[in-house]
Amino acid sequence: MIMANSTVCCAFDSPILDEVLPPILILEFMFGLLGNSVALWMFILHLDTWKPNAVYLTHLAVADSVVLFCLPFRADYYRRGKDWIYGDVLCRILLFLLAANRAAGIFFLTAVAVDRYLKIVHPHNCINRMGLNYALFISSGLWALIVAMTAYLLFDKHFFSHNNRTQCESFNICMGDNPLATWHNIFYVIQFIVPVGIVTFCTVCVTWQLKSKTIDTQGKIKRAVRFVLAVALVFIICFFPSSMSRIAVWILKVWHNECSYFQEANLAFYTSVCFTYFNSVLNPLVYYFSSPAFSGSFQKLLNKLLGRKIPGEDISANNSIIVSVSSGR
């Protein structure tokens, strides 16, 4: 137990986290960087048709790519037994980027789910006729909201010493009232609960639309169902465990005020936070299911890299030969 700003806070030694988390974080960094680099390459250079959902997903890929570079620092922090050696400023920036990335992941995934819901369930809604400028406006608004909700992490110290080590944490279990810590916890949970309700509603409505439609000749609704299910899966895997474990800490604080009661809950929370970072690895799968334009462009690029013939090339080549022969006659 330690004193921080006249508030009693709990600090725990977690050898299992120090052993398990560094390799997991490095793997998430490697696979996430690979997937998001390919996704950005596809969005910027190879996507022929831009739609609002592509704008939202591009912003999501940018957020993921930035935050991935925080993971090696976090891995080194755990490798040293939760000892931060890079100073106060970098600690604040890292915690801000991690919090902003979680919010960006949730908000932009929710935006693409709502966009798909409107196009399938309400195809004649006027919002569907709005172009890329509207999507850019929504994206700018989401970023402004994200920064406004997480910028407080840049203006407060998150250091405290324990066993001659300097811990850098934004989530500390402290007894007593701390307005910033309370807001941090509330925002962490609410930013999951509200969007997950929206995504669940969109998923149910789009799935019901598929069942009620007897004809789906172009497979548009089936693709939409696969896409919103992929979004829902990311929510469940990446954001549900950490939100529930944080709520468990709240419940324990109602009944207990001694640090010994929180050790298992603290271990569960920091283990589940790794699933939050995993969204940077899973999001490229969401991009693949986002539209035929993205998956088709990816397949063409993959075939070129592997030296495979693109389906239809031979037919188009034969047609051009026939045309030239006919014109020669």
CB-based contacts of 174, cutoff 8 Å, min separation 6: 4, 7, 8, 9, 10, 181
Domains, the chain, ordered by start: 2-297 (1.20.1070.10)
What length does the chain have? 329
Rounded to the nearest 10 degrees, the angle between the axes of helix 52-68 and helix 132-150 is 30
Calpha distance 134→157 (Å, rounded)? 38
End-to-end CA distance of the chain: 93
Chain-centroid distance of CA 149 in Å reads 17
Calpha distance 178→181 (Å, rounded)? 5
- Burial environment of residue 210 by CB neighbours within 10 A (0 to 12, 13 to 18, 19 or more): middle
Walk across the sheet containing 7-10 and list its strands.
Answer: 2-4, 7-10, 173-175
- Which helix H or strand E contains 57, and what residues bound it? helix 52-68
Instruction: Show pLDDT as tens, one digit a residue, over the chain (329 residues).
Output: 444 444 677 777 778 888 999 999 999 999 999 988 888 888 887 777 788 888 998 999 999 998 899 999 999 999 998 899 999 999 999 999 999 999 999 999 999 889 888 888 888 878 777 778 889 999 999 999 999 999 989 988 877 777 788 888 888 777 667 777 788 888 899 999 999 999 999 888 888 877 776 555 556 677 778 888 888 888 889 999 999 998 888 888 878 878 888 888 888 888 898 888 888 998 888 887 776 666 666 677 667 766 766 555 454 444 443 444 344 44
219-240 burial code (b ≥16 CB/10 A, e <16): eebebbbebbebbbebbeebbe
CB contact at 8 A, 275 and 192: no
Other C-beta atoms lying within 10 Å of the C-beta of residue 215? 6
Q: What is the pTM of this model?
A: 0.82
3-state DSSP call for residue 38? helix
CB contact at 8 A, 52 and 134: yes
CB-based contacts of 328, cutoff 8 Å, min separation 6: none
